[in-house]
């Protein structure tokens, strides 16, 4: 597919947003970070050139918006941007969990559903694509750093949107055959349930980079 540079919005300015925004901007896309405090986020930023705006303006100017904000409040946050996100692609990398006593994910917020499905329900004119939530943030933009090839799972109803996301994953360093298209947005339930595995891995291995891989 022809490589088309796009305006990409990244909601959030934390660990995930930082690695994704840096790599996407380095690939030549125009990147805006959507943050509650643009001045504060700009002051602490180091890396590739990006702009900083509030969430609504970020969504308005972007063709593709990455949700890198807390999953447990994402549906309300992005649902409020329905007009700004109309006709666009939302890439959801969030995990929606309830915290256990140690502050780590303890259970799923949407058992029997998923944050991706809830987002798609709240944003009917937007193509929601779930990906990249099954790994530590460092791996999202550096997949070849692991000894075993990781998998980027993909879930979404819109085939064209998923093709665009595959292109963007390529910019993040993902070879096409490491990307596993699971099907429609309801298939995000599987990858989202991996959030239950994460606290056990973190307790045993700390923040060493890891990702889920589909062994074949
Ligand atoms: N960390 C990982 O390895 C990892 C892996 C897979 C998936 N995820 C998912 O990716 C998402 C981001 O994770 P992260 O580790 O980057 O988290 P983080 O470092 O805590 O960053 C989240 C960012 O979201 C914004 N935010 C926080 N609370 C908010 C609120 N109440 N309303 C609006 N914006 C808020 C903040 O940006 P501003 O202060 O600039 O607004 C914050 O920097 C989460 O859904 C997480 O489950 C994380």
Q: DSSP label at 80?
A: T
Predicted confidence (pLDDT) per residue in 57-84, tens digit: 999 999 999 999 999 999 999 999 999 9
Instruction: Determine contact, residues 136/211, Cβ cutoff 8 Å.
Output: yes
Instruction: Please name each of the domains of the chain with its CATH number.
Output: 7-205 (3.40.50.720)
Ligand 1 near 131 CB (within 6 A): no
For position 5, what pLDDT does the model report?
A: 81
For position 108, what pLDDT does the model report?
A: 98
Ligand 1 near 97 CB (within 6 A): no
Instruction: Determine contact, residues 136/146, Cβ cutoff 8 Å.
Output: no
C-alpha 1 to ligand 1 mean position (Å): 31
Three-state DSSP class for 127?
strand
Arithmetic mean of pLDDT, 203-208: 94
| Phi then psi dihedrals of residue 172, to 5 deg | -85, -5
Task: Please state the atom number of ligand 1 nearest to the C-alpha of residue 105.
Answer: 47
- Bridge partners of 91? 66, 129
Close Cβ partners of 216 (under 8 Å, ≥ 6 residues apart): none
Taking each helix axis as running N to C, give the angle between helix 159-171 and helix 15-26, from 0 to 180 degrees, rounded to the nearest 10: 80
Predicted confidence (pLDDT) per residue in 82-124, tens digit: 999 999 999 999 999 999 998 889 999 999 999 999 999 999 9
At 1, is the pLDDT very low, low, confident or very high (cuts 50, 70, 90)? very low
Three-state DSSP class for 78?
helix
Kindly state the percentage of the chain with pLDDT values over 70: 99
Ligand 1 near 34 CB (within 6 A): no
Close Cβ partners of 110 (under 8 Å, ≥ 6 residues apart): 96, 117, 118, 192
For position 2, what pLDDT does the model report?
A: 52
């Amino acid at each position: 597919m022809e490589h088309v540079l796009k305006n990409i919005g990244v909601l959030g300015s934390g660990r995930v947003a930082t690695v994704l925004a840096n790599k996407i901007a380095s690939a030549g896309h125009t990147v805006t970070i959507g943050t509650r405090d643009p001045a504060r986020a700009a002051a602490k930023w180091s890396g590739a050139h990006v702009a900083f705006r509030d969430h609504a303006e970020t969504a308005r100017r972007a063709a593709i918006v990455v949700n890198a904000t807390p999953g447990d409040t994402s549906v309300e946050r992005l649902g409020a941007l329905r007009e700004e996100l109309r006709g666009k692609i939302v890439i959801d990398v969030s995990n929606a969990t309830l915290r256990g006593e140690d502050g780590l994910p303890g259970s799923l917020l949407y058992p029997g559903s998923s944050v991706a499905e809830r987002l798609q329900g709240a944003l009917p004119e937007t193509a929601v694509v779930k990906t990249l939530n099954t790994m530590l943030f460092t791996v999202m933009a550096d997949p070849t750093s692991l000894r075993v090839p990781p998998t980027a799972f993909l879930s979404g109803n819109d085939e064209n949107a998923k093709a665009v996301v595959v292109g963007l994953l390529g910019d993040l360093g993902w070879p096409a055959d490491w990307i596993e298209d699971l099907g429609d947005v309801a298939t995000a339930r599987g990858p989202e349930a991996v959030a239950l595995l994460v606290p056990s891995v973190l307790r045993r291995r700390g923040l060493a980079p890891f990702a889920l891989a589909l062994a074949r």
